[in-house]
Amino acid sequence: MSTSYEFEGTVKEIMDMQTFASGFTKREIVITDKDDRYPQDIKFVAVKNNCALLDTIKKGDTVRVNFSLRGNLYNGRYYTDLQLFKLVKVEVDGSTAEPIPQPADDFPVDDISDEDMPF
């Protein structure tokens, strides 16, 4: 069973979707931790259907993401991703807005194999 984590911050950057020859798609987002003395820019990745979660947000929005840790070995190097699977926009008063519609679960998070990774 995979453990999930939660993170809240301000959207700093949203990258364009990347599509690879295998059909694998991913999209990255950078969120700045607002509660740290020295704010950290944290990159999250959305894969496959979860890329659509980033369509309704923009730079400067405060969001809460749920994510899991994903890691793999490729060509002798280890890679780690913070893979988001849920995204909620947070209002100025701290309440959460209407949840961003989540894509249908075509596959559980644990079903993503290392062969799906483009690197």
Residuewise pLDDT in 10s, the chain (119 residues):
468 999 999 999 999 999 999 999 999 999 999 777 889 999 999 999 999 999 999 999 999 999 999 999 999 999 999 999 999 999 876 556 555 555 555 545 555 555 555 65
The pLDDT score that the predictor gives to residue 3 is 85
Q: Residue 97 in 3-state DSSP?
A: coil
Which positions ≥6 away from 76 have C-beta within 8 Å? none
Instruction: Determine whether 67 is exposed, middle or buried from the number of CB atoms within 10 Å of its CB (0-12, 13-18, 19+).
Output: buried
The pLDDT score that the predictor gives to residue 92 is 74
CATH node for 4-100: 2.40.50.140
**Single pTM value for the model:** 0.75
The radius of gyration of the chain from alpha carbons, rounded to an integer in Å, stands at: 15
Q: Give me the amino acid identity at 22.
A: S
CA distance 103 to 109: 13
Tokens of 62: 């405060």
